[in-house]
Amino acid sequence: MRVDLPQGTLETMVLKTLSWGPMHGYGIGKWIERTSNALTVEEGSLYPALHRMEMRGWLEPEWRTTENNRRAKYYRLTPEGRKQLRAQSKSWSHLVASVGLVLEATEP
Amino acid sequence: MTEPPTQAAWRRYLRFWRTDARADVDDELAFHLEQRVRDLEATGMSRAAACDEAARRIGDVSALKNVCVQIDESGMRRREREEWRDALRMDVRTALRQLARSPVVTAVSILTLALGIGANTAIFNIVYAVLLRPLPYANADRLAVVAETQRDLRTGVGPGQFTEWVARNRVFESLSAESGATFNLSGVGFAQRVTGAMVTPSKFRTLVMPPAAGRYFVDEEATPGREHVVVLSYALFTQQFGGDAGIVGRTISLSETPYVVVGVAPPDYAPESYGEQLWVPLALTAQHKTKFNEHWLLVYGKLKPGVSLAAAQRDMERVTREIAALQPAAMIDRSVRVVGIREDLAGDYERQLGVLFGAAALILLLACSNIAGLILARLTTRRREIAVRLALGAGRARVVRLLLTESVVLAAMGGVASLAVASGATTLLLRIAPASVPRLDQADVGAATLPFVIVATLVAGLVLGIFPALRSTRGDVQQALRESGRTSSAAGPRDHARSALVVGEIALALVLMTGAVLFVRSARNLADIDPGFDPTGLRSVRVSLAGSRYQSPAQIASGITRLLASVSALLHARAVAATTGLPMGNGVPDVQLHIAGREFPPGQEPAANFLGVSPTYFETMRIPIVRGRALTANDRAGAPPVVVINEELAHRLWPNESPLGKRFYCCGDDSVHVWREIVGVSRNVRHWLTARPFDEIYVPYEQAPAASWVWFSNTVTLVMRTERSDAILPMRLRTAIAAVDPSLPLFEQFSYDDLWRRSTSTNRFAMQLFSAFAALALTLAAIGIYGVLAYLVSHRTQEIAVRMALGATRPQVFALILRQGGALAAGGIFIGIAIAVVASRALQQLLYGIEPTDPITYAIAGFALAAVALAACYVPARRAASVEPYSALRG
């Protein structure tokens, strides 16, 4: 199933992914696809989002060498990024609950 | 997808210097693709298929790259800006801390700068108002005044010449002629004299501005019989007619003649020539157009696009040669001059204001060098701080920037304070400025002030900062650190710099001082002028005898007689006289004299200024008659025509014989020659204070030629000698004149004190300003020299103590310090004199009775400066002489 992501949702998911530890762009995309079981993360959205969040100071870049000796750009959550994650997950849950209440209403 | 190694190495090299956003994004995406291909291969795809699939998924790579790079770069720029701003904020904070550390020096610096910048701004406000402010006319850069000249002096333009100019010139789009005129504007319950002008209809085409109401003149209205139409100025329109546009088409009464209002000029139409309040058409008749020897028109021209003033001048000279070929007799010694309207308006004031602006700039320079001296002194004690900064890795540029920030912050504080000084000084300047300066009334602390203050402040800040900043970062860091507390040896090179500054300050002060002394002495000379009459307690008032009751010369003369009778009754028969030309009050026309029995070559006929006076004139003005008799009450209309001439004319025409009994005719009596007999010679009178006496003839007003009343627009000046303290005299005068005819407007009520002040106002203005500048400059120079010596003494205490221990007496030490101060002062004075000799040439035309190179002036200025400098040395020298050798050496 292909799902269109609401504005800003990708950023929240990226923040969540990085809460486990620093990761490079490819790993982030793969983790979200695997965990969601349904979503496709497009490179055309992922990388601009990463760079935007870096410029806002939510993420910190870090060049590392991978297991197979390749230089890769890892992203790490900053304290500001962690704060954003908390705020955004909260508002997401709130949104889901509210939309659920409306859609599952049984009387007018 | 792997990149060639050389390129990667190059990138690494680039990255070493600065982050390279594009390379980083390349690497990041390359890694992404590699991982994807590897994962796809792991699912069993062939490498080629995996590559294709990976490329398909990522889509347009280069577009993606660009988006990322753009995001990165915008963020980086913002971050750089923020860093820069943070650093600036830090520098400013550091600067403020530094300035707060020495509050006295800072306060003195701010005050000095405020005075320097404020004085400049105030002068700039005046310069802007008079010289720079845009003129209200469209195409003002193409407007010019075209004047005739006679032996290089500007004169009016003859109607004949004007007619030929219009026909023959190739450079002007339009030419207009006008002549000033006054009218008695009368309505219900008021009589008012208004200044106006008779203008050719082309005037309004030359100075293009659409009318505020109605229309301007059409060409046909410049013909006799149709000329009774009038255009009102906006000021008159609002003040006298309530700003009601319904006035257009109505009839008003001007000198008891009905005129139809056809239009109103726009509000900012600010004619500068006569301050006209209304305009009527100038009807040049065919007879006028052949007159080449009466020069009474003022001509404006609008140049064709692209024609320069120089080209116009050449073309008009050609036209003048053509006219001279037609009218050789009328064109002897005559030429033409085309002057840009801006230059014409600014007139002589351009030079004066230039001089004042130059003087103000010197003050700012002085203020800056004074503060630079203070900053240098403080830097000496801050040398260690700067050395520490450099040692800790602050770049040289960083330290220069810090020091520059300090000086700009200082200058900014001075700049803000200067606004108050500028506003006060501008008000003061406007109060003392001569009233005759054009367009000055609109001077203000206006929009042009702020940019000027900002620029002056920045320049001052940079000038102040750059020199000390560059100086302080030079030199050996380690040595500066090693010297630790001992600052005595560090004083060496910096002292030379400070000494040079002080010498410069004294030189500048001397230049200003010289100017001030020149103006003071010039004012003395002006005050000492003997005008040839006794001005004590003289008062004057002008009356305009216009209207239908004053058509013929006889009617005018009888009006004057009645006025004199009424006023002298009022003043209990104290001296009262009438004249058509009051010395220092109004101009007088000159007329050609045709002397019985003498012939002169064309162009060299004698001429003299014409004054129509009452017989009481000489007695009232206390002008002695040196030969023959004064005019008497018997010299009335119908009696034999007589005339009194002045010594100047008598000497010119009859150097070796008595002029009494000689006869001449003059004054346009072309048809009937009225021979006038010279019955007396009067002492010379200076008509204008600073001009040498003119040749003059005094004709009894009852015998004045009919034509002359036209020259004077039927106006006459009553002059009387009164008690100085008669406060209600102006009111009583009004009553006395109204008793004769209530419709007569009177104007220009002056006491001779007023006139005298007006005649000397330009000189007084320059004198006051230069004196203020010189006082300021002296103070600054004194502070400068005091600062250097006080600093020197405080840092040489040990050396002085050693000298004294070795046997130097206190007077010797005192003299030693005085000598050092004296050397600085002498150097400054000599350099200053050299500059002043050159610079004071600019003052030449503003001075009276004194040469700019007057040696006594230089001696006075030099001695004054030397005295001030020595006084400034006194305190430091005393301190040096009072050093206690033992305690100083032990400490």
Is A24 within 8 Å of chain B by CB?
yes
Is A25 within 8 Å of chain B by CB?
yes
B604-623 pLDDT, tens digit per residue, is 778 888 999 999 999 999 99
The average pLDDT across B115-142 equals 80
User: Which of B191-195, B327-331, B475-479 is predicted with the least confidence, judged by mean pLDDT?
Assistant: B475-479
The H or E element spanning position A80 is: helix A79-103
Cα separation values, B75 from A24, B80, B163, B220, Å: 20, 9, 73, 73
Residue A3: what pLDDT? 58
Residue B58: what pLDDT? 85
Residue of chain B minimizing CA distance to A49 = B68
Residue B2: what pLDDT? 44
pTM as predicted: 0.67
Is B66 within 8 Å of chain A by CB?
no
Residue B206: what pLDDT? 72
Strand ranges inside B128-223, DSSP E: 143-150, 153-155, 172-187, 190-199, 213-214
Q: Which of B7, B12, B28 should we substitute to test contact with A (largest number of A Cβ atoms within 10 Å)?
A: B28
Coil/strand/helix, residue B23: helix
Q: Which of A11, A24, A28, A51 should we substitute to test contact with B (largest number of B Cβ atoms within 10 Å)?
A: A51
Which residue, among B154, B197, B203, has the nearest Cα to B177 in the 3D structure?
B203
Is B436 within 8 Å of chain A by CB?
no
Radius of gyration of chain A (CA): 16
Distance CA B417, CA B118 (A): 8
CB pairs under 8 A between A and B: 57
Q: How confident is residue B478, by pLDDT bands cut at 50, 70 and 90?
A: low
C-beta atoms of B71 and A55 within 8 A: yes
B734-745 pLDDT, tens digit per residue, is 888 888 887 777
Residue B70 has pLDDT above 70, yes or no: yes
Q: What is the mean pLDDT of chain B?
A: 82
The average pLDDT across B6-12 equals 51
Q: How confident is residue B589, by pLDDT bands cut at 50, 70 and 90?
A: confident
Which of the two residues, A94 and B468, has the higher pLDDT score?
A94
Residue B298: what pLDDT? 87
Residue pair B284/B296 in contact (Cβ under 8 Å)? The answer is no
A3-61 pLDDT, tens digit per residue, is 566 667 889 999 999 999 999 999 999 999 889 887 888 888 899 999 989 888 899 88
Q: Scan residues 667-706 of B and list those with Cβ closer than 8 Å to A.
A: none
Residue A1: what pLDDT? 46
Residue B484: what pLDDT? 47
The contacts found for B149-157 with CB under 8 angstroms, 24 or more apart, are B149/B334, B149/B335, B149/B336, B149/B337, B150/B333, B150/B334, B151/B333, B152/B335, B154/B337, B155/B295, B156/B295, B156/B296, B156/B297, B156/B298, B157/B295, B157/B296, B157/B297, B157/B298, B157/B299
Half-sphere exposure of B40 (CA within 13 A, CB side): 19
Distance CA B362, CA B81 (A): 39
C-beta atoms of B28 and A72 within 8 A: yes
Please state the ipTM of this predicted complex. 0.89
A-chain CB neighbours of B7 within 8 Å are none
Residue pair B301/B338 in contact (Cβ under 8 Å)? The answer is yes
Is B72 within 8 Å of chain A by CB?
yes
C-beta atoms of A44 and B58 within 8 A: yes
Residue B491: what pLDDT? 44
Coil/strand/helix, residue B365: helix
Residue of chain A minimizing CA distance to B39 = A30
Q: CA of A101, closest CA in chain B: separation in Å?
A: 37
Of B35, B68, B72, the CB nearest to A26: B35
The DSSP secondary-structure symbol of B297 reads B
Residue pair B396/B427 in contact (Cβ under 8 Å)? The answer is no
A-chain CB neighbours of B34 within 8 Å are 70
Q: CA of A39, closest CA in chain B: separation in Å?
A: 14
B288-298 pLDDT, tens digit per residue, is 788 887 788 88
Q: Which of A2, A24, A26, A75 should we substitute to test contact with B (largest number of B Cβ atoms within 10 Å)?
A: A26
What six digits make up the tokens of B706?
């009919």
What six digits make up the tokens of B127?
């310069």
Coil/strand/helix, residue A5: coil
Highest mean pLDDT, choosing among B308-322, B389-403, B469-483 = B308-322
The average pLDDT across B40-56 equals 89
